[in-house]
Structure formats: structure tokens, C-alpha cells
Amino acid sequence: RAKSLGRDRFCYFSEELQNVVDNRFAIERQLKRALDDHALEVFYQPKHNLITGALAGAEGLVRLRAEDGTIIPPDNFIPLAEETGLIHPLGEQVLDQCCAAASRWLKQGSPVKVGVNIAALQFSNSGFFDTVTRALKKYDLPAELLELEVTESALMHDFDETRNILQKLSDIGVSISLDDFGTGYSSLSYLRFFPLGVLKVDRSFVKDMLSDGQARSIVDAIIHLARSMHLELVAEGIETKAQLDALRDLGCQEGQGYYYSKPLPVAEFESRYVNMADATYCARLQLVDSH
Ligand code: C2E
Ligand code: MG
Ligand code: MG
Ligand code: MG
């Protein structure tokens, strides 16, 4: 640490940087504690059918609660978890919670497919396939109700090994979605090489599509691409009715975003979307009935 070098040294290591380092250690300590206590929280954001408004699934998003009760968002600790290897226990605990939740919802009469974000490094763990099948078995959850969200950078790691694992998962019924599609070092060859079922249009395109013709063209192209490749399409980050309408006009089927709901603590998600008394869920049942 710079402090131990003495205060009067030329300060390469500024106070600001020191704060960053301190903060990093604080987050790492709190993350370790949360893992030890199995106290990580998972919030759930609903995915909706854009035509009917019906619930189409949920995405699990991890949250770390700091000592002072505030919530630390994943962008502030996932990279650190990846650097320290803590991503492995973290990933397992999130997967466990998501499978438990989806299984509980199913038993309450509401089959909600749950999406779990998977970091690149989790694939490098040769036991990943077994981790997933164990979690499904533990909660007696049909594989069809589990979706794994991977990013393009996750796929870039070890092509053949990653494809093998994803193929095995896909073979048992787990769906694989490509998250943040269109950002990063996208290569369309991924769409052929990996057994994908879902594309998630990155929220940056949705954000700009009303003001920027190019963003709109990209969304349009992704929608056509998905359709002709028989992939499901989910738009991320829908915040306004105007964005929803534009996406619907272009033929996008599903989406999520603050327009519908922010990610919710599990109890709140359940009371709004799973509980039979809930209006949204009743609307959905009527839709199913009328088919
Ligand atoms: P992501 O998987 O692309 O998740 C979508 C992010 O967009 C979430 O941020 C969500 O809260 C946010 N979001 C949803 N709708 C809107 C909207 O309408 N407007 C805006 N501005 N944002 C919206 P969050 O929860 O902070 O997560 C950030 C990222 O952290 C995720 O991006 C994912 O890459 C990663 N992450 C979250 N949970 C996990 C996890 O359990 N494991 C791993 N490996 N990564 C995770
Ligand atoms: Mg995601
Ligand atoms: Mg995303
Ligand atoms: Mg993201």
C-alpha cells in the first residue's frame, strides 16, 4: 500500500486510487461474507410478451447487500468475483436460488422460465454441466424452465469446450440465450457454432432506436435474423411505451425493462406475478384459457 511507503514519497498512488483499493477490499470482504452466509440476494425482472403483455419469464439478477443495508449492484462486484475466483461459488449460489424459486413457482401453478446469467469463467469449470444438472435435480425443476444467459465474451473463451458444454445442456432441454447481443466482439458465426435458442438485443439499441435510425436498423436486422434462424428474441431495457410500440411494430415478441418493472426482490416478484390473486397473472390465465 502506498501509505506504508511513507507520506512524503512522491505520490504515484493517489488518495483517490487508495479509496478505490479500499473500496475493492471492502466489497471483496462483504462478498466473501455473503457467500459464507448464503446471503446473496437475487432479484427477478419479468420478461413480457410484447403483444399480449403476458408474463413470459424472469431474469435472476444478483444483488449484494452491504453492511449498511444498501444494495451493491453486480457491475460493482462481478468483475471482482471473476478476478478472485469467487465467481464459482457465486454462480452456484445464484443458480441454486433461481432453480429453487422457479420450482416453487411451478408448484404454485405458475411455470415461469428463469434466466440465470453465467460468467465466462464458469464454463472453464469442468464440473459446470454437473452443477446445472444437480441444481435441476435438487429442486425437481424441468430443464425447460431454465435458461442460461451467456455473453459473447463468455463464448470467446474456449470455443470447443464451451460448445460441448452448451450442447449437452441444450440436449437436456436447457435453453441458452446470447445476452447483450450486438455489443462486444460479436461474430455472427457464433450463431451457427453454438446451440443458441434466444437472442437478447442489447439495451443500448433499444435506448437509441427512436432517435437514431441506425440503431433502429440494427434492431430491425436482429429481429429478421432471429426470425429466420428460428431464435427467440428478447429486447432488453424497454423504458417507455414508445419504445415498446416501436419494437412491436418491428415484430419483436418479447422484452423486459423498467417500462414493465424493475428487478424485484423475490417476495415482491411472487406477489405480483406468481400469486394467483394477481391481476397480471389472471390476465395471463385468461389468455391461456382462450387458446
Ligand atoms: P444483463 O444480464 O444484461 O442484465 C440486464 C441489466 O439491465 C440489469 O442490471 C437490469 O437491472 C438492467 N435493466 C433492466 N431493465 C432496464 C431498463 O429498462 N433500463 C435500464 N437502464 N436498465 C435496465 P443489473 O441487475 O445491474 O445487472 C448488470 C449485469 O450484471 C447483468 O447484465 C449481468 O451481466 C450481470 N449479472 C447480474 N446478475 C448476475 C449473476 O448472477 N451472475 C453473473 N455472472 N452476472 C450477473
Ligand atoms: Mg442477462
Ligand atoms: Mg443484457
Ligand atoms: Mg449486461
CB atoms within 10 A of CB 192: 9
Residues with C-beta atoms within 5 A of ion ligand 3? 179-180, 236
Q: How far apart are CA 194 and CA 186, in angstroms?
A: 13
The three cell numbers of residue 226 are 432471429
- State in Å: Cα 203 to ligand 2 middle: 11
- Enter the ipTM: 0.98
| DSSP assignment of 162-224 | HHHHHHHHHHTT-EEEEEEETSSS--THHHHHS---EEEE-HHHHHHTTT-HHHHHHHHHHHH
Residue nearest to atom 21 of ligand 1 (CA): 237
pLDDT at 126 (0 to 100): 79
Q: How far apart are CA 291 and CA 288, in angstroms?
A: 6
Give me the mean pLDDT over the 17-32 stretch: 88
Its pTM stands at 0.90
Q: How far apart are CA 182 and CA 279, in angstroms?
A: 35
**Ligand 1 in reach of 74 Cβ (< 6 A):** yes
Give me the mean pLDDT over the 229-258 stretch: 97
Considering only residues 10 and 236, tell me which one the structure prediction assigns the higher pLDDT: 236
- Percent of the chain, pLDDT > 90? 76
pLDDT at 7 (0 to 100): 56
- State in Å: Cα 88 to ligand 4 middle: 19
Q: What is the pLDDT of residues 265-283, one digit of tens each?
A: 999 999 999 975 444 544 4
